[in-house]
Amino acid sequence: MSGESEVHDSAISPAVPTLVTFNPAAQLPLKLTPSNLASRRSQLETLLLDLDLYGFIDGTTAAPVRTITENGATKPNPAFQLWFRQDKLILHALRCSISESMYSFVSSASTSRTAWLILDKLYASNAQSRIIRQNIQRRSGHLGVRE
């Protein structure tokens, strides 16, 4: 597969949701690490916004009900099945785009939203640690000027 995204079932009417696949290795070639969390996170957000998939990680594209009732019979909800498959593809992309050292943090996430929230917490923790470290360095007079 090239670096481009694919939409499956393109012969279906545009009103019918389709599964969007993408290639994280080609579209996000640099791994997310603790040191580049902010910039790589921004790239992930941009890609998901471009593919109209950002709602999966920000929680606005909630999971539909698992089953529906038609003519008195309960059956699997096709909308849930599509949502589930799409979410797993996004979760896979997130996992593929992070470094080995960060993988353990998101390995137990069951949805892309959960993985994203974990990455958010790591980013906030990383940013807070950096601010504390800079304050300590500033107080001790060891904060150098960077060009």
Each residue of 42-54: b (16+ CB within 10 Å) or e? Answer: ebbeebbeebebb
In angstroms, rounded to a whole number, what is the distance separating the alpha carbons of residues 90 and 70? 30
Q: The whole model's pTM is what?
A: 0.72
Structural domain includes residue 77: yes
**In contact, 18 and 12? CB cutoff 8 Å:** yes
pLDDT of residue 125: 60
Round the average pLDDT of the chain to a whole number and report it.
79
Tell me if 79 is assigned to some domain: yes
Q: Please state, in angstroms and as integers, the Cα–Cα distance from residue 45 to each residue in 3, 41, 51, following that order.
A: 17, 6, 10
Q: Are 32 and 98 in contact, with CB atoms under 8 Å apart? A: yes
Residues in the chain, pLDDT under 70 = 1-16, 124-147
Report CA-CA distances (Å) from 38 to 17, 119, 122: 31, 10, 10
What total of structural domains would you count in the chain? 1
The answer as to whether 87 is a domain residue is yes
Read off the amino acid at residue 69. Answer: T
Residue range(s) defining the domain that contains residue 44: 6-140
Q: Has residue 72 been placed in a domain?
A: yes
Tokens 């790239």 appear where?
43
